[in-house]
């Protein structure tokens, strides 16, 4: 493996990124291994509780200054960060690919998402619009405005180790908040790299120490953020199990949470579909990032009259998949994140067999030269039934379930009959079918697409899902409102004191 960034030889410490001084951390470290080749990439110090408290205090102090900086000026600083990510796109994208195991193209795509959200946030910084309303009282002006919230805690998952942070942080910063990021313990190095990349921008602009902070560690560090009343908003991305724990802890102190959790996404393939469009979208959706996207296509609901045709086309397409190192662009599919994920895949495969599921494309582990990490598995397709417990669950691996439907109502009912509600799609050239799928009687997901697969969202649209996916929305549209507090204001510029609802109160 060639050196991609100047990778540290000593354990690296978290802290804030404006100064080079990192907090004194505990001697405990996280060892970051690449699932690509099983090599130890780096050791990263784990933040102690004392480190965490110091980081929160520094962030709180920084907020007092940062919230006073005009929003367009904050946007200008975010614009400069976007420039830095453009400069380091290849290096960071390569590190994402190496530490997380997604293909280099997807690693670069993830950095592109950071650049895109920076651009979006720059524009947003001049559009933090309030509303004005007509007061029922004479000579009164009524309006609402948005103020910064405070310290935002960002808990992120391993599978989008950097993009999800940026969706939150860039918007939070233009909104005048300060951020404490707790990245996945499986991908700490990419997080440290991001902090380094923006460090110069923060220093050059005299941004107060504490606007961008990092704490490292596992569940404990996430729990500190969730329970801490000093954290105004906890934005957490990860499993539904984690989201339920965070939601409970934050609700217990009546704080705010923004939850982006697991998906169980389906594509409906109608008899009116253009299969030349559908097949590549299904295959990318099911095997891209080795099935480790929250928007991965997990269920395919196919109209019975074209079921065999779709099945055969998918078999042919899967036969062409090349599996190998994510850094080698000739491969389509890389490894799972770690051997624990491989066990999860095997357990799911066994359960499918026990339930009587038939594999159309056989599963299996891959070993031998080039696969020494033990994290490579074969993408597979199983004929299954929607109500099976294993189909109802999100298994974070490239397993695609093939389901059959008769009527569109039946297909939509199957699509919705899972606990999760993130992404969904229909392939059809029939306008009535497409519109029905998007209507109130259609998909119950946060994302519903026509003639596009379930994965590959653009930052311009609000991203998130319903039900056990958590209900949060990040990125585009009006997602910025989650990072601000709303204030309703009424000003009396008259000479009398009329009360609302015509109430009289004589003294
Ligand atoms: P995970 O839940 O194991 O961990 C996610 C993060 O939460 C990590 O930083 C972890 O340390 C932290 N954490 C774990 N338990 C916690 C607790 N009790 N309190 C506070 N923090 C805690 O998830 P993962 O394996 O890293 O990621 C995969 C999952 O993330 C999948 O379910 C996937 O669908 C989901 N995901 C969702 C989205 C989305 O936008 N909806 C995006 C990416 C990933």
Q: Please identify, by atom number, the ligand 1 atom nearest to the C-alpha of residue 158.
A: 26
Helix 71-87 to helix 104-124 angle (10° resolution) is 160
Task: Write the CB contacts of 410 (distance below 8 Å, at least 6 apart in sequence).
Answer: none
> Is the per-residue pLDDT at 22 higher than 60?
no
113 lines ligand 1 (CB under 6 A): no
Task: From the options 3.40.309.10, 3.40.50.920, 3.30.360.10, 3.90.1150.10, give the CATH code of 265-450.
Answer: 3.40.309.10
244 lines ligand 1 (CB under 6 A): no
CA–CA dist 488, 145 (Å, integer): 7
- Of 449, 447, 454, 452, nearest to 474 (Cα)? 447
Q: How far is the CA of 490 from the centre of ligand 1 (A)?
A: 42
Residue spans of the domains in the chain: they are 15-261+470-487, 265-450
446 band by pLDDT with thresholds 50, 70 and 90: very high
H or E element, residue 221: helix 219-227
- pLDDT per position as a tens digit, 408-434: 999 999 999 999 999 999 999 999 999
261 lines ligand 1 (CB under 6 A): yes
> Is the per-residue pLDDT at 241 higher than 70?
yes
In 10 A of CB 293, how many CB atoms? 24
Task: Write the CB contacts of 181 (distance below 8 Å, at least 6 apart in sequence).
Answer: 154, 156, 165, 169, 191, 212, 213, 214, 215
Beta strands in 220-269 (DSSP E): 231-237, 256-260, 265-269
> Is the per-residue pLDDT at 94 higher than 90?
yes
Q: How far is the CA of 157 from the centre of ligand 1 (A)?
A: 4
> Is the per-residue pLDDT at 19 higher than 50?
no
User: Catalytic: which of 106, 113, 260, 394?
Assistant: 260
Q: At 45, give phi and psi (nearest 5°).
A: -65, 145
167 lines ligand 1 (CB under 6 A): no
Q: 5-9, 119-123, 234-238: lowest mean pLDDT where? A: 5-9
Q: 38-42, 74-78, 252-256: lowest mean pLDDT where? A: 38-42
Give the sign of the dihedral formed by CA 216, CA 220, CA 224, CA 227: positive
- Report the pLDDT value the prediction gives residue 506, as an integer from 0 to 100: 87
- Report the pLDDT value the prediction gives residue 289, as an integer from 0 to 100: 97
CA–CA dist 248, 364 (Å, integer): 38
For 316-334, what is the mean pLDDT?
97
List the beta bridge partners of residue 234. Answer: 153, 257
30 lines ligand 1 (CB under 6 A): no
> Is the per-residue pLDDT at 7 higher than 70?
no
- pLDDT per position as a tens digit, 358-405: 999 999 999 999 999 999 999 999 999 999 999 999 999 999 999 999
What does 349-393 look like in DSSP terms, one character per residue?
HHHHHHTT-EEEE---B--STT-TTS--B--EEEE--TTSHHHHS
Burial label for 441, CB within 10 Å (0-12, 13-18, 19+), is exposed
For 284-311, what is the mean pLDDT?
98
What are all long-range contacts of 279-285, with beta carbons under 8 Å and residues at least 24 apart? 279/310, 279/313, 279/314, 279/317, 280/317, 281/425, 281/427, 281/452, 281/453, 282/314, 282/400, 282/453, 283/314, 283/317, 283/318, 283/321, 284/453, 284/455, 284/456, 285/453, 285/454, 285/455, 285/456
Q: How far is the CA of 261 from the centre of ligand 1 (A)?
A: 7
For 15-261+470-487, CATH number?
3.40.605.10
126 lines ligand 1 (CB under 6 A): no
265 lines ligand 1 (CB under 6 A): no
> Is the per-residue pLDDT at 1 higher than 50?
no
Q: Please identify, by atom number, the ligand 1 atom nearest to the C-alpha of residue 263.
A: 34
For 258-284, what is the mean pLDDT?
98
Structure tokens at 163: 């993009």
Q: Please identify, by atom number, the ligand 1 atom nearest to the C-alpha of residue 160.
A: 43
Nearest CA to ligand 1 atom 20: 222
pTM of the model: 0.95
List the beta bridge partners of residue 143. Answer: 132, 489
Whether complex ipTM tops 0.90: yes
Would you say 213 and 16 are in contact if contact means Cβ atoms under 8 Å apart?
Answer: yes
Counting ligand 1 atoms within 8 A of each CB, the residue from 96, 239, 457 with the most, and so the one to mutate, is: 239
Give me the chain's average pLDDT, please.
Answer: 95
83: left (phi over 0), alpha (psi -120 to 50) or beta: alpha
> Is the per-residue pLDDT at 175 higher than 50?
yes
Structure tokens at 127: 């559009």
Q: Please identify, by atom number, the ligand 1 atom nearest to the C-alpha of residue 225.
A: 20
- Of 129, 124, 134, nearest to 146 (Cα)? 129
219 lines ligand 1 (CB under 6 A): yes
What does 27-56 look like in DSSP terms, one character per residue?
S-EEEEE-TTT--EEEEEEPPPHHHHHHHH
Known catalytic residue at 433: no
Bridge pairing between strands 151-155 and 231-237: parallel
End-to-end CA distance of the chain: give it in Å, rounded: 83
CA–CA dist 124, 328 (Å, integer): 37
- Report the pLDDT value the prediction gives residue 188, as an integer from 0 to 100: 96
- Report the pLDDT value the prediction gives residue 20, as an integer from 0 to 100: 41
Q: How far is the CA of 506 from the centre of ligand 1 (A)?
A: 59
CA–CA dist 19, 228 (Å, integer): 25
What's the residue count for the chain? 507
Nearest CA to ligand 1 atom 35: 238
220 lines ligand 1 (CB under 6 A): no
């Amino acid at each position: 493996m060639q050196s991609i960034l100047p990778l540290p030889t000593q354990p690296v410490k978290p802290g804030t990124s404006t100064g080079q001084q990192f907090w004194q951390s505990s001697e405990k470290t996280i060892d970051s291994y690449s699932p690509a080749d099983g090599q130890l990439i780096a050791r990263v110090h784990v933040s102690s509780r004392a480190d965490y408290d110091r980081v929160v205090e520094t962030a709180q102090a920084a907020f007092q200054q940062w919230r006073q900086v005009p929003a367009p000026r904050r946007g200008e600083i975010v614009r400069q960060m976007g420039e830095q990510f453009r400069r380091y796109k290849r290096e960071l994208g390569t590190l994402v690919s190496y530490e997380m195991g997604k293909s280099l193209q997807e690693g670069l795509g993830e950095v592109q998402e950071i650049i895109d959200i920076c651009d979006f946030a720059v524009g947003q910084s001049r559009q933090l619009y309030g509303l004005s309303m007509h007061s029922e009282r004479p000579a009164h002006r009524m309006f609402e405005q948005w103020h910064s919230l405070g310290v935002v805690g960002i808990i992120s998952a391993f599978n989008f180790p950097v993009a999800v942070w940026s969706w939150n942080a860039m918007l939070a910063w233009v909104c005048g908040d300060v951020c404490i990021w707790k990245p996945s313990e499986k991908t700490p190095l990419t997080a440290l790299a991001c902090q380094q990349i923006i460090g110069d921008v923060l220093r050059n602009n005299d941004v107060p120490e504490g606007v961008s902070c990092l704490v490292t560690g596992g569940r404990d560090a996430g729990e500190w953020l969730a329970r801490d009343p000093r954290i105004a908003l906890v934005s957490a991305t990860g499993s539904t199990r984690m989201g339920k724990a965070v939601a409970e802890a934050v609700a217990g102190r009546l704080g705010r949470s923004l939850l982006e959790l697991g998906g169980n996404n389906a594509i409906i393939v109608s008899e009116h579909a253009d299969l030349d469009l559908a097949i590549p979208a299904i295959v990318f959706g099911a095997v891209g990032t080795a099935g480790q996207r929250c928007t991965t296509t997990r269920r395919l609901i196919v109209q019975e009259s074209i079921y065999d045709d779709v099945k055969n086309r998918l078999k042919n397409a899967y036969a062409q998949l090349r599996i190998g190192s994510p850094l080698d662009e000739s491969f389509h599919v890389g490894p799972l994140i770690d051997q624990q994920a491989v066990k999860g895949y095997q357990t799911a495969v066994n359960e499918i067999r026990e339930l009587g599921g038939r594999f159309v494309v056989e599963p299996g582990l891959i070993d031998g030269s080039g696969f020494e990490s033990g994290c490579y598995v074969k993408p597979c397709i199983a004929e299954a039934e929607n109500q099976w417990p294993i189909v109802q669950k999100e298994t974070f691996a490239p397993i695609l379930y093939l389901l059959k439907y008769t009527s569109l109502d039946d297909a939509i009912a199957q699509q919705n009959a899972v606990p999760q509600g993130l992404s969904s799609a229909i392939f059809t050239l029939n306008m009535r079918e497409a519109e029905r799928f998007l209507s109130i009687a259609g998909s119950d997901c946060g994302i519903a697409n026509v003639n596009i697969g379930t994965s590959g969202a653009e930052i311009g649209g609000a991203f998130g899902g319903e039900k056990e996916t958590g209900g949060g929305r990040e990125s585009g549209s009006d997602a910025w409102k989650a990072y601000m507090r709303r204030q309703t204001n009424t000003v009396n510029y008259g000479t009398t004191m009329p009360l609302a609802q015509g109430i009289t109160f004589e003294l």
